[in-house]
Amino acid sequence: MCGIVGYVGKRNAIPIILEGLKRLEYRGYDSAGIAFIDKEKKLKIHKRAGKIVSLERMLPPPSELDGNIGIAHTRWATHGKPTTINAHPHTSCNNKFAVVHNGIIENFKNLRNKLIEEGHTFESDTDTEILAHLFEHFAKENDDFTLIAQEALKLVEGTFGIAVICSDFPDQMIAARKGSPLILGIGKDEFFITSDVNAIVIHTKRVIYLQDGEVVSIDKNKFEITTLDNEIVDAVISEIDWDVSAIEKGNFKHFMLKEIFEQPTSVKNAFRGRLVESRSTVRLGGLLSNGEDLRDIKSIQIIACGTSWHSALIGKHIIEKLARIPVEVEYASEYRYRNPIIPDGTNVFVISQSGETADTLAALREAQSKGAKVSGITNVIGSTIARESDNGIYIHAGAEIGVASTKAFTSQVTVLSLLAVFLGRMKYLSAEFCAQFIKELWKIPQKIQKVLDNNDHIKKVAETIVDSTNALYLGRGANYPVALEGALKLKEISYIHAEGYPAAEMKHGPIALIDENMPVITIALKDAIYEKIISNMQEVKARSGRILTIATEGDTSIESLSESVIYIPKTMDILQPLLSVIPLQLLAYHVADLRGLDVDQPRNLAKSVTVE
């Protein structure tokens, strides 16, 4: 989704902001643009529909690209088509102010009509353009850039993360946020503004996460943060604690493949330091603020979107099994608009890799406004959901760049299994069971590695379905959400229509689709319901369906039912999803790659969906 990068300092801003934009390509976008103040103190703007390379191709020669202050943007269209005119930055009538904006201005029609009455003319269909005109309007009454920004932004309803430059204030940049993330990076005699730390981490690891309603004024020597009412804010500087290599592809062809292969480590990072062997339990420090309350919780609601919603479904399965607490799982987008009932004694969990998904954030606020305690399960440290939750658990998966979420999913599931044991151990679970769980969890990273070592075989299986137009994924129990996740991965990056189903539901509809062209990817592991799923496979086979099976190592008898089999190691039932999802991730990856598609930036998708 939309990305912002800005630079103020002694260096030439243009290569820095263009480089930063490229680091944000993974978020998904359909146009890009830059603005800077040149050496003659003139505002220069270049923008273009399409990819950043198209923008670069139309830029003037490097000698004309020189300035110490600049802003840049990648746009994911909401208001208005993805055209060059609608691309950011947008300018005022007098061509002095240039604005880049993430978020949505809800009262933009109203503001636009008023500005038109005043004589302003608009070029684009975007909500953003009104900001540039509003700044111009308030500049008539004020000669202080910060005060102009505060007055303009007080009129704006909706969400924004913005960066603004103006040729009348050639050494100053203004940035502000309300509901859309914005980060100030602090370098030596230079500052950065971004909506995503990935864009600036190669330059600095010292950052300030701006809060809603804050405005920052920056020049090359200093910055000052104020509220919209011009009160000075004493902000806290944080250190980014991960390495730049996290946002490099290394030897991998795609970020998605790199992230799939990182899972032995990322899963270990999700549980390391949280297992208390001596007491056969787990420790979740981030939840301790209401550890006692958690002992008394009567029900749980988990709210999420996309892949995080699939991990929530697995969480439901494991928590109900181990802690005997009823769990409801909700799509955030539905939850926020249906006046949810939150019974006394309910703890709400929100799960979000990015910590910025607009629907999940709104659902969190809705739950809090009804008096519920909300715990956030997030990856991005300092993200809005992490900050607004009452307490929470970080999954520590490291930066996830591929739009199709992979390692965040397994880290979420790992953390949810820890949560289930944590809650279960307060009441029902024996020390013996937990000791066994801890022992098994320690073995998971090497078992994931074993599945990854089978990558060549999985690629061969992918070759057999590369021309399919549909696919069905079946699983039961905790592997039903894994089937959903496998189908989602295939849809997202290969554009093959795929559906996930609980295997026994197949006979209530999807069975009508089965013929010799339909690949049915079935998770059939040696667990309590193995025999049941074998019956479902027989039903597919009887109708000439092509069965591709994910099976437990050693289960050779399943080969007679299957066109191909991918084996995974045996583990405890509740930990199986951590292994069964890996071949499905690889399968989707290889199908998309064999089809020659852009795996890391699939069409129309965004990594972090910060609008409704």
Question: Looking at 2, 166, 305, 434, which residue is catalytic?
Answer: 2
- Closer residue to ligand G6P in complex, CB, 536/601: 601
Beta strand 346-352 with 373-378: parallel, antiparallel or unpaired? parallel
Q: And the tokens for 590?
A: 């290889």
What is the nearest approach in angstroms of ligand G6P to the Cβ of residue 255?
Answer: 13
CA atoms within 13 A on the CB side of 233: 22
Q: For ligand G6P, which stretch binds (CB under 6 A), given 116-124, 219-227, 346-354, 475-483?
A: 346-354
Whether 75 contacts 82, CB under 8 Å: yes
What is the nearest approach in angstroms of ligand G6P to the Cβ of residue 398?
Answer: 14
Q: For ligand G6P, which stretch binds (CB under 6 A), given 103-111, 242-250, 438-446, 599-607?
A: 599-607
Q: And the tokens for 149?
A: 């920004």
Q: Does 352 bind ligand G6P (CB under 6 A)?
A: yes
- Closer residue to ligand G6P in complex, CB, 151/356: 356
Q: Does a cis peptide bond (omega within 30 degrees of 0) precede residue 89? A: yes
Give the separation between CA 553 and CA 533, rounded to whole angstroms.
17
Give the separation between CA 551 and CA 573, rounded to whole angstroms.
13
Give me the phi and psi of 581, to 5 degrees please: -75, -25
Q: Does 484 bind ligand G6P (CB under 6 A)?
A: no
Give the separation between CA 326 and CA 256, rounded to whole angstroms.
34
Query: What is the CB neighbour count within 10 angstroms for residue 268?
Result: 18
Q: Does 609 bind ligand G6P (CB under 6 A)?
A: yes
Place of tokens 């490097």: 62
434 among known catalytic residues = no
The residue of the chain with the least Cβ separation from ligand G6P equals 306
Q: Does 360 bind ligand G6P (CB under 6 A)?
A: yes
Binder to ligand G6P among 266, 354, 375, 411 (CB under 6 A)? 354
Whether 207 contacts 197, CB under 8 Å: yes
Give the separation between CA 497 and CA 476, rounded to whole angstroms.
21
Helix (H/G/I), strand (E/B), else coil: 95: coil
Beta strand 546-552 with 519-524: parallel, antiparallel or unpaired? parallel
- Closer residue to ligand G6P in complex, CB, 322/362: 362
Give me the phi and psi of 571, to 5 degrees please: -150, -175
Q: For ligand G6P, which stretch binds (CB under 6 A), given 118-126, 128-136, 262-270, 354-362?
A: 354-362
Q: Does 353 bind ligand G6P (CB under 6 A)?
A: yes
Q: Does 406 bind ligand G6P (CB under 6 A)?
A: no
Q: Does 397 bind ligand G6P (CB under 6 A)?
A: no
Which H or E element spans position 141?
none
- Closer residue to ligand G6P in complex, CB, 68/352: 352
What is the nearest approach in angstroms of ligand G6P to the Cβ of residue 353?
Answer: 4
List all residues 6 or more positions away from 538 whose beta carbon is below 8 Å from its beta carbon: 561
Please list every residue from 212 through 231 that binds ligand G6P, using CB under 6 A: none
- Closer residue to ligand G6P in complex, CB, 311/576: 311
Q: Does 403 bind ligand G6P (CB under 6 A)?
A: yes
Q: Please, what is the Cα angle at 139 between 133 and 140, to 5 degrees?
A: 105
- Closer residue to ligand G6P in complex, CB, 33/402: 402
Q: Does 489 bind ligand G6P (CB under 6 A)?
A: no
Q: How far from 124 is each of 35, 103, 115, 231, 327, CA to CA, in Å?
A: 17, 16, 14, 34, 47
Q: For ligand G6P, which stretch binds (CB under 6 A), given 53-61, 66-74, 232-240, 349-357?
A: 349-357
Whether 561 contacts 549, CB under 8 Å: yes
What is the nearest approach in angstroms of ligand G6P to the Cβ of residue 233?
Answer: 27
Q: For ligand G6P, which stretch binds (CB under 6 A), given 161-169, 388-396, 558-566, 601-609?
A: 601-609
SS (HEC) of 459-498: HHHHHHHCCCCEEEEEECCCHHHHHHHHHHHHHHHHCCEE
String marking each residue 437-476 x if it binds ligand G6P according to CB under 6 A? ----------------------------------------
Q: State the greatest distance between any 2 C-alpha atoms of the chain, in Å, as a whole number.
A: 81
Please list every residue from 276 through 335 that binds ligand G6P, using CB under 6 A: 305-308
Q: For ligand G6P, which stretch binds (CB under 6 A), given 70-78, 96-104, 239-247, 350-358?
A: 350-358
What is the nearest approach in angstroms of ligand G6P to the Cβ of residue 534?
Answer: 32
- Closer residue to ligand G6P in complex, CB, 136/196: 196
What is the nearest approach in angstroms of ligand G6P to the Cβ of residue 485?
Answer: 9
- Closer residue to ligand G6P in complex, CB, 280/352: 352
Q: Does 357 bind ligand G6P (CB under 6 A)?
A: yes
607 among known catalytic residues = yes
| Rounded-to-10 torsion of CA 319, 325, 331, 336 | -140
Binder to ligand G6P among 26, 185, 607, 611 (CB under 6 A)? 607
Q: Does 605 bind ligand G6P (CB under 6 A)?
A: yes
Whether 25 contacts 94, CB under 8 Å: no
Could you list the beta-strand ranges (E) of 245-320: 275-276, 281-282, 299-304
Q: Does 374 bind ligand G6P (CB under 6 A)?
A: no
Find, among 386, 396, 394, 406, the residue nearest to 607 by Cα: 406
- Closer residue to ligand G6P in complex, CB, 305/444: 305
Find, among 211, 385, 421, the residue nearest to 305 by Cα: 385
Give the separation between CA 245 and CA 398, rounded to whole angstroms.
10
Whether 8 contacts 220, CB under 8 Å: yes
Counting residues that bind ligand G6P (by CB under 6 A) gives 16
What is the nearest approach in angstroms of ligand G6P to the Cβ of residue 313?
Answer: 13
Give the separation between CA 142 and CA 347, rounded to whole angstroms.
49
- Closer residue to ligand G6P in complex, CB, 194/307: 307
What is the nearest approach in angstroms of ligand G6P to the Cβ of residue 378?
Answer: 8
Question: Looking at 44, 268, 407, 607, which residue is catalytic?
Answer: 607
- Closer residue to ligand G6P in complex, CB, 376/475: 376
The set of catalytic residues is: 2, 607
In the complex, which residues of this chain contact ligand G6P (CB under 6 A)? Answer: 305-308, 352-354, 357, 360, 403, 405, 605-609
